[in-house]
Amino acid sequence: MITLAQKLISEACGSSRVTTGEIVVCKVDLAMIHDSGGPRRVKPILERLGRDVWQKDRVAVVTDHYVPVESNETEAIQKLTRQWVHEQDIKHFYDQQGICHVVVPERGHIKPGMFCVGGDSHSPTGGAFGAYMFGIGATEMAGVLVTGEIWIKVPQTILISWQRQLPAYVTAKDMMLATCREIGMGGGRYQAIQFAGEAVHDLSMQERMTLSNMAAELGAQAGLIAPDEVTAEFIRATGAVLPANWKEYAIETAGEGDEALYYDASLLAPQIAAPHSPENADNAEAFRNTAFNLAYIGACTGAKYVDLAAAASVLKGRKIASGITLKVAPASLKDQNRAEAEGIMQILEDAGAEFLANSCGICAGYGADRLAENDVCLSSTARNFKGRMGAASSQVYLASPYTVAASAVAGTMIDPREVAEG
Amino acid sequence: MGRIWQFGDSIDTDVLAPGQYMKSPLAELAAHCLEAVRPEFAAEAKQGDIVLAGNNFGVGSSREQAAEILKFLGISCVVAHSFAGIFYRNAINLGLPVFILPPKDSLPAGLVDGASVSFDFDMASISLTAHNKHIQLEPLPSFLKDLIIDGGLVPHLEKRFAS
């Protein structure tokens, strides 16, 4: 029985059958790059090689890391990015529209059956659409841009199946933090994870993207989800054409010798991960009365439309506690506009939220908005390594937008059900 | 010849190449390499030194500067029990040798921080100078070995395009 990973790779390398561990060379359908690892790094390499981009309509460029522009250095990076896009006549350029992992799917670029690479470690996000997508560095991206090809070692599949249904106020972020605790940040062994089971197919597309995105936190190369009607509807709604054969990719199986893990979604509680690793996760209840001063709803895994809506459902008619600052950086302009139209942004503002740009923001720690010395942040982002979001003395706890919002109201970390249902 | 710089598990890319300095020139970024866990590393690392680490070295971001600055600081190779996938690919693409260590219980006692070592890329081995001990590392697949011999992906492609 062929796995989804094997089917996607065998089609991309033009071989009828691939074997686990074999190194094959695949043709790339889409290469996504951003302002940090993109043009400023690949331009000199392309010049040295004397080559241009292999196919202009197979490249998507997004500015999201050095946004907003706040120094001469970052202004120069954005200028270089725009010039390169113009020189190379790149067809898909999204300038300050939000984070690449959210913007590229929302514009209909990722579909079942595709083989894609991204110049960012959270590129497994594309796997939520039944595409094989993984992150690479800038030199390797330059290689893809000039050849349209990349080598890959055919991975095993690690099937992570979530049976039954999630309780209310328990989300994809909680599923991933719990999985980080269970198998560790190296547990994905740079193989292909496939998320499966009833609780996964019950999720909205954006929640599924959070699962696939955080396959990176498990050390997997890819985080695949078999496409279904939810996937199809999301792609149709972007205005893109759904491939006629998309149901061929609705494969949800582990292969011979592969690993399969089964979890009961109905038993999962909201999670919080302590500094400085996502694998330091436990039930939110275990962190009761842990003090913090900054609540952050941001990033590709934590500030999409569904995340803003989740936070607003808790914050409606409530105010954040004194001593807490709540910062919200909606993951894309499109999601922010939708939240605005539905009154969600107003609810967040009324509760006391401050808004940041549609960019990687504090999560990447690249800009002026960073954590200060001794800040303790409860964050809806994916990664809480020491010093990542600011000062080395700062501490970051990870949780779902429900948990971040509820804790901001309570003034201390709390299981969101105590606030929402209290 | 050089010394061993020993690190534990899960040395991440934010510690290797801090985000705050990612907009800066490589030399400045390199000056902050590993400062959160080993403040003297960047200033004291010398040509031929080796980084020895535990599991999941290079976990986190796809930023290849994490590997590039180790090479810039003179590190001749990184040996670890396991690597994060993207870091491993980046290191090879930039021509920085990376090797998997044999299991912990088979390693000699002298393989510790500060010990003098020499590294043989072709043989995939390191030698502890004072103990006259050789440690055989897991050989690289020939496909990847050739990339490193060429000096990384860019010179490799130059060669390919020229022929």
Please write the tens of the pLDDT for every residue from B39-50: 999 999 999 999
Question: In whole angstroms, what is the distance from residue A298 CA to residue A381 CA?
Answer: 6
Q: Which of A149, A332, A31 is nearest to B156 (CA)?
A: A149
- B159 CB neighbours in chain A (<8 A) are none
Which of A195-209, A363-377, A399-413 is predicted with the least confidence, judged by mean pLDDT? A363-377
Q: What is the model's pLDDT at position A336? A: 98
CA dihedral A201, A228, A400, B85 (to 10 degrees): 110
Q: Across chain A, what does the average pLDDT equal?
A: 97
d(CA A340, CA A338): 5
Cβ separation B64–A37 shorter than 8 A: yes
Is A376 part of the contact surface with chain B (CB cutoff 8 Å)? no
Q: Is the pLDDT of residue A268 over 90?
A: yes
CATH of the domain at B27: 3.20.19.10
Reported as a pLDDT band with limits 50, 70 and 90, residue B58 is very high
Determine, for residues B93 and A370 on separate chains, whether the beta-carbon distance falls below 8 Å.
no
> Which residues are CB-contacts of A244 (< 8 A; sequence separation ≥ 6)?
none
Closest approach of A238 to chain B, Cα-based (Å): 28
Element counts in chain B: helices (H) and strands (E)? 7, 7
Give CA torsion, residues A308, A310, A311, A314, to 10 deg. 150
Which pLDDT score is estimated for A422? 74
Q: How close is the nearest chain A Cα to the Cα of B156, in Å?
A: 10
Chain A nearest-CA distance from B90, in A, is 6
Give the residue numbers spanning the domain of B60: 2-162
Q: What is the pLDDT of residue A368?
A: 87
Contacts of residue B43, defined as CB under 8 A and 6 or more positions apart, other chains included, come to B31
Interface confidence, given as ipTM, is: 0.94
**Which chain B residues contact residue A66 at CB under 8 A?**
23
- What gap in Å lies between CA A162 and CA A172, rounded to an integer? 11
CB contact under 8 A, A143 and B24: no
Q: Indicate yes or no: CB of A366 within 8 angstroms of CB of B90.
A: no
pLDDT tens, residue by residue, A62-85: 999 999 999 999 999 999 999 999
Residues of A in contact with B90 (CB under 8 A): 136-137, 139-140
Integer Cα distance of A324 and A320 in angstroms? 7
Report pLDDT for A259: 96
Residue with tokens 């997997």: A220
Give the number of domains in chain B: 1
CB within 8 Å: B85 and A364: no
Single out the residue of A218, A173, A166, A176 nearest to residue A193, CA to CA: A218
What pLDDT is stored for residue B101 in this prediction? Answer: 96
* Sign (positive or negative) of CA dihedral A137, A138, A142, A145: positive
Nearest CA in chain A to B86: A136
Inter-CA distances, A220 with A95, A105, A127, A169, A214, Å: 29, 20, 12, 27, 9
Of B10, B16, B41, B38, the C-alpha closest to B29 is B16
Check if the beta carbon of residue A311 is closer than 8 Å to that of residue A401. yes
User: Could you identify the residue written with the tokens 């901001």?
Assistant: A408
Q: What is the pLDDT of residues B80-134, one digit of tens each?
A: 999 999 999 999 999 999 999 999 888 999 999 999 999 999 999 999 988 889 9
- Name residues whose C-beta falls within 8 Å of residue A417's C-beta, 6 or more positions apart in sequence: A168, A169, A270
Q: H or E element: which one contains A73?
A: helix A72-88
Map out the domains of chain A with their CATH numbers.
4-265 (3.30.499.10), 270-420 (3.30.499.10)
Q: List CB contacts of A34: < 8 A, sequence separation 6 or more.
A: A61, A62, A63, A64, A65, A100, A119, A120
B20·A366 Cβ contact <8 A: yes
Among A416, A399, A359, A412, smallest CA distance to A68 is for A359
Residues ≥6 apart with Cβ < 8 Å to B156: B146, B147, B150
For residue A393, give how far its alpha carbon lies from the nearest alpha carbon of chain B (Å). Answer: 10
Predicted pLDDT of residue B131: 86
| Chain B residues closer than 8 Å to A383 by CB | 60
Residue B15 has a pLDDT of 95
- For chain A, the 3-state helix, strand and coil shares in percent, each to the nearest 5, are 40, 20, 40
A391 contact B CB<8A = no
Q: What percent of chain B has pLDDT over 70?
A: 100
C-alpha A27/C-alpha A277 separation (Å) is 35
Q: Give A382-419 as a DSSP string.
A: S---TTTTB-TT-EEEEE-HHHHHHHHHHTS---HHHH
Mean pLDDT of chain B: 96
DSSP 8-state class, residue A278: T
**Least Cα separation, residue A190 to chain B (angstroms):** 5
| Residue A24, strand partner residues | A152
Reported as a single tens digit per residue, the pLDDT across A122-167 is 999 999 999 999 999 999 999 999 999 999 999 999 999 999 999 9
Which pLDDT score is estimated for A421? 86
Q: Band of the pLDDT at A52, cuts 50, 70, 90?
A: very high
Q: Is A411 left (phi over 0), alpha (psi -120 to 50) or beta?
A: left
- Counted across chains A and B, CB pairs separated by less than 8 A come out at 114
Per-residue pLDDT, A79: 98
Q: Do B84 and A219 touch (CB under 8 A)?
A: yes
